[in-house]
Amino acid sequence: MTQINTRPLDGITVISLEHAIAAPFCTRQLADLGARVIKIERPGVGDFARHYDTRVDGLASHFVWTNRSKESLTLDLKHESATPILEALLGEADVLVQNLAPGAAARMGLDFSTLHERFPRLIVCDISGYGQGGPYETKKAYDLLIQSEAGFLSVTGGPEPAAIAKAGCSVADIAAGMYAYSHVLSALLLRGRTGEGSNIDVSMLEGLVEWMGYPLYYAYDGAPPPPRAGASHSTIYPYGPFPTGQGGTVMLGLQNEREWQLFCKTVLRQPDLATDARFDANAKRSENREALREIIESVFARLGPDDVIARLDEAQIANAHVNDMAGVWQHPQLAARKRWRDVASPAGPLPALLPPGRSSAFEARMDPVPELGEHSAIILEQLGYGADDIANLRASGTI
């Protein structure tokens, strides 16, 4: 099928009062599908994620990741001159996304019940740590804190009490951003049937607790939870990272007894081990994992990582390289599938990964990462403001 230039969200306008990760990740994905996303930022400061670091040619890594294809409008929402600008924008918008501090949107009259009276087709998506209502509604929430509240930290890291570990990326923010994204899409579909906008209330806590479904049910009705097992599996063995010769590490995973027999024969080259009474069932292998680990490591120590992977591939045992970030940048599968594109930015062209999932009908939008306030004048001109008006708004600190 030949790709066409029309994207699913062409013609949809999103206004976003956003910072950090959850809301920007949601709206960037809406922009990927063609939506016009107008990101409202504080004059002179902007989204504080702009200043997390300077690792991307002077730009912040988080910001580059979550803000391409957007327009940046600086606007001090506390300034009286900002109100008619925001009203005009919302009057033409399809979606408002916000992850301001709890209660801040309502204090500015940007809650759904207030906005719905004037803009009945507007979809309002509120993203917060704990959601609307309940004793935690106003509690501050950062990614690490939600990982803790959601029980995520109880199943990550090593078995020792001091080896508790958080995820190396913002999983709670990402979970909330993904659910906000999918809910906005569903709200647009619903509006197409009813003609009415709706309110979406996304909680970081609930997003991550949903992802904890397996360990939650494993510990159902007071049963012991799965133990922390580092990068290994808490109940399946061998499954996880194993050191090899030449200072390498290989990740592998066995799922059934047929694979165990192949592993012994083809990878370890010890076929008799398959019927060893200590290891002839997964539960026994898991119970005696230290003894089995010694056997596996003694074999792997004589082999380089590529040799181990070659044997695993021959046995059709699932395996993977343990890549660092440099390895991911150079991953041959991503290169072969042509998943990288260059996008413009204030620092010049930067590589960006195409959104996961490939459509035969269109290619995702991959437009520049905006400079702070880069589109303020253009947006205001589109709203009917003249050059003198815009100059006065700058002088007053409104934009």
The CA dihedral of 372, 185, 92, 116, to the nearest 10 degrees, is -110
Residue 309 one-letter amino acid: I
**Helices and strands in the chain: count of H runs, count of E runs:** 17, 11
* Strand runs labelled E in the chain: 13-17, 36-41, 70-74, 95-98, 123-128, 199-203, 239-243, 249-253, 318-321, 340-343, 350-353
In degrees and rounded to multiples of 5, residue 241 shows phi and psi of: -85, 145
Q: Examine the residue annotation and report whether 233 is marked as an active-site residue of this protein.
A: yes
In degrees and rounded to multiples of 5, residue 337 shows phi and psi of: -90, 5
Tell me the C-alpha distance between 196 and 181, whole Å.
18
Alpha helices in 150-288 (DSSP H): 171-194, 204-211, 213-218, 257-262, 282-287
Contact 4, 361 (CB under 8 A): yes
Tell me the C-alpha distance between 198 and 13, whole Å.
16
Tokens of 226: 């799965």
What angle is formed at CA 113 by the lines to CA 110 and CA 117, rounded to 5 degrees?
A: 95
Of 79, 233, 321, 331, the active-site residue reads 233
The residues that are catalytic are 233
